[in-house]
Chain A
Amino acid sequence: MKRRYRITPEGRQQPTDAEIARYRDPKRLLYNYTRAVQRPQKPLYRDPKAFLFLLLIVLLAYLISEEQRKPDAPAPAPAENAPRTPSGG
């Protein structure tokens, strides 16, 4: 980002103290602060969407763990009556 400077005798118009005071709002600041630090009012499990999402995660975790717990399937034994390939001669 490039900076460009403009230097003029007056510069830009300076706000007066009264103009600045118009923007001062300590109540809004405290309100925003309270909102920023406050924990959500409703616990996650009380929110239907969050509840379904949590349930889905638990279900997935359960399915994955079950899948991993299954013993490996035994390798198929070699078949005795396997079709013989016709031998030439």
Chain B
Amino acid sequence: MTPGEEEHQMIMAAKAEPARFAPLYELYFGDIYRFLLRRALDPDLTADLTQQSFLKAMLGLARYEPRGLPFRAWLYRIALNEVRMHWRKKKEVLIDLSYREVQGLSEEMGLEMDEQEMQRLARAMGGLDAEKARLIELRYMDGLSFAELGQVLGIGEEAAKMRTHRVLGRLREQLVPRR
């Protein structure tokens, strides 16, 4: 049995009997926790948001329709909504990233992995509006495929690809000084 088929069986079992959601919870808890920790920063708060995300997933599982896309992306979408609810009253959020997490993006931008370049990248990313920043975070920090990205944002794969390229272009403009 392929992992996809196995996952499909787990989803069907959980739809029929909520107590059988546990294997899905065990399988994805780590991914969702790390995803939320990147944004919430505090471990205890992250644990609460993770638990809340899984509760929402359980409550909404009857409406979930697998369309050949990974279940993980659906969970990311729920988790992202939870973190947005949490951020609602904040004026500013700090996102702490390591060189490893921005490596893909730095390569795409042709930047060196040194302090000065990373500060420029941080400033350029901070200048993006929320929607564009979210795209970059999901693609490069969380490592989502374009299909997953599309599912999380509720758009098609092609649209996700196009929007990401547009945002990368915008970032490049900010990073490369105009002559």
Contact = CB atoms under 8 A, between A and B. Distances in A.
Interface stretch (B29-37, B143-151, B157-165): B29-37
Contacts of B59: 33, 36-37
Interface stretch (B4-12, B43-51, B63-71, B72-80): B43-51
A9 interface: yes
A88 interface: no
A9 B98 contact: yes
Nearest to B102: A7
Contacts of B33: 15, 20, 23
Nearest to B90: A1
Nearest to A25: B51
Interface SS of A by simple majority? mixed
B155 interface: no
B109 to A, nearest CB: 12
Interface string A6-18: 1111111011010
Given A1-B90, A30-B19, A30-B22, A7 B54 contact: no
B41 interface: yes
Closest 9 CB pairs of A and B: A11-B98, A23-B47, A5-B122, A7-B118, A12-B96, A2-B92, A26-B22, A7-B122, A5-B125
